[in-house]
Structure 1
């Protein structure tokens, strides 16, 4: 019933449904559920220490033999910029004072780590079927080591030019991430987010530009979006925000509340939480500081100064200083277990494809 089986055959999957590897909400529990249902569960490692990643992968390997994806960021750590960090702290000072925090206290460092030698050793140890990257690819030596494990390599492209760049460097499939997607933009050949295309303009152009299979991502949350992606030439879809409604998602109460109330125009791209553009539900800090601030330090350093504000306000039930990541289709989300959601999405998409074929 699927129009293009290339990704299913390439990765050994039953269903062309990928769960987006969302750092924070996703751990082994969701990965296992999605993979056992026949889709591709994705473990995000960007916020994990190597020790935590090993623990999570150990749990996954004990509980499923199905294909899994592990995901890494490929950013370059920026040099310290004390003047800019001081200016950012000064911009946030009124919020510190309001919450009874000391603005002069040292800010914690962001925990987001790029793919490196130690993470590469974890890939070699656990040999996941799929390794995916965000913000481009790691250096050629590390990438060759990943491919030597037998893993298929995927990465996100936000333009057709990025897709071609990734294919030329050995990617086995391309995730075409449209502007509707929640979380961090995978943009890496430019920093101009204003020109970013939407999913259903991007996907067919990426399909035309590369020979490898394409996975559509961004604003897809139900059978209609899945079928539309297939019609435009995608071999699979990657879904993120819809999985945040599953009980396996580790979503804080304020985040869950705004997801349930979100509408199509409730999100915006912002750099205030990390220093890099990402889509989230608009909250107080985005309204009053951004959403795009030219004061925010480079990725991932901006997050450090926000951490005390989040730590103080979140236990009070406030999402004012949280990164409320969400795509534009949150309103289409349904609350059901991840395995059930994976199967239901596939069944409904197949039914719709069958209707269209008659």
Structure 2
């Protein structure tokens, strides 16, 4: 792993920060103990809850780890569009016997308070999603010894991260499960599926900025890790692969859905949050996705109770089943074991490539003076 990431982990494997409960301290500790880099997800948590998880993780492990923050969102949503969507969801509220949430519950995810905690009691790595921190923030974190990583989905976003002084970028391809980490959800941009695939994005970003790259998007096997490392990434970030581990805090229905043949594909949708996110195509996504407005986090707040009620009712058709494109490759095993399996697959892939390269090397030609 390159300079900004050196010493953080034995292997170039990063466990993605999955907001909503999956990335709990037990998972980050297990990944770190096995030689990967574990992450906590501060998104949707109070500052106090974030800090409790940090303390819990430190009590379990002394290896480096990261914390992911959501950037505050601009107030660009159309309140009338959110109101119309709320009317459409009235049937869901009646079905699950739960009220819709307040869409105006806040759009900054307590960013400043969480940042203040991380500056006062530093952690090894802080990553940012849904935007780019200011240079002042990156410099403040650098002064306390924290490595900063910014999630990017385009070359322009990578250039912004470099200009802000980030130490590394997490390059997220369109294959990734959960939310696309775009810095701005532009309602006038091309359709949600117009993003770049991971390998193409790695090459473009590598040419544009002199920063270490963490590759993310649909990675489930060590062979895929070998591919992104060969393409120029310093490490690979996996989320869906770790979601089904016993240490993950994901709901059991969510875990089982990863390999359930009922769910045949993933889609990008705004149905649950108002922002593009990849999940298993279920009833809620199909019925409401086409009509969901560009309104994050307003739609997230609106549907929060519905998603919880669906989970309590044992109904995966009403849940946000975030998943990457490779979800059918999920393997249910302890996180530490999974890290080792991925490392073994990575080394086998590297050995295979080296062997094939040796076979393909030109052989010396026999000449008149050669000894037979």
| 1:315 aligned partner | 312
Asked whether the 8 Å contact 1:263–1:331 carries over to 2, the reply is no
1:152 maps to 2:151: no
In 1: Cα distance, 2:309 partner to 2:352 partner: 52
**Change in CA separation of 1:286 and 1:40 when aligned onto 2, cut-off 3 Å:** same
What is the aligned counterpart of 2:122 among 104, 123, 127? Answer: 127
The gaps in structure 2 that reach 5 residues or longer are 356-372
- How many Å apart are 1:353 and its aligned residue? 0.4
In 1: Cα distance, 2:109 partner to 2:310 partner: 29
Query: Is the partner of 1:186 in helix, strand or coil?
Result: coil
Larger mean CA deviation between 216-225 and 341-350 belongs to: 341-350
| 2:343 aligned partner | 346
What does 1:218-229 correspond to in 2, within 5 Å? Answer: 218-229=217-228
| 1:75 aligned partner | 72
Q: Detail structure 1 runs of 4+ shifted over 6 Å in the superposition.
A: none
| 2:6 aligned partner | 10
- How many Å apart are 1:285 and its aligned residue? 1.1
| 1:177 aligned partner | 172
- In the superposition, the TM-score normalised over structure 2's length comes to 0.87
| 2:49 aligned partner | 52
Deviation per residue, 1:116-142 (Å, 9 max, x gap): 331122112331111100122223433
Deviation per residue, 1:212-268 (Å, 9 max, x gap): 111111011101111111121111100000001100111213212211226995100
1:285 maps to 2:284: yes
In 2: Cα distance, 1:234 partner to 1:180 partner: 16
Give the structure with higher Rg (CA): 2
How many pairs were matched up? 350
- In the superposition, the TM-score normalised over structure 1's length comes to 0.90
Query: Is the partner of 2:214 in helix, strand or coil?
Result: strand
Asked whether the 8 Å contact 2:138–2:164 carries over to 1, the reply is no
The gaps in structure 1 that reach 5 residues or longer are none
**Change in CA separation of 1:309 and 1:140 when aligned onto 2, cut-off 3 Å:** same
In 1: Cα distance, 2:103 partner to 2:270 partner: 18
Query: Is the partner of 1:320 in helix, strand or coil?
Result: helix
**Change in CA separation of 1:15 and 1:204 when aligned onto 2, cut-off 3 Å:** same
- How many Å apart are 1:351 and its aligned residue? 2.0
What is the aligned counterpart of 1:43 among 35, 40, 43? Answer: 40
**RMSD between superposed Cα atoms in Å:** 2.3
Asked whether the 8 Å contact 1:156–1:177 carries over to 2, the reply is yes
In 2: Cα distance, 1:83 partner to 1:60 partner: 43
In 1: Cα distance, 2:266 partner to 2:274 partner: 17
In 2: Cα distance, 1:38 partner to 1:170 partner: 27
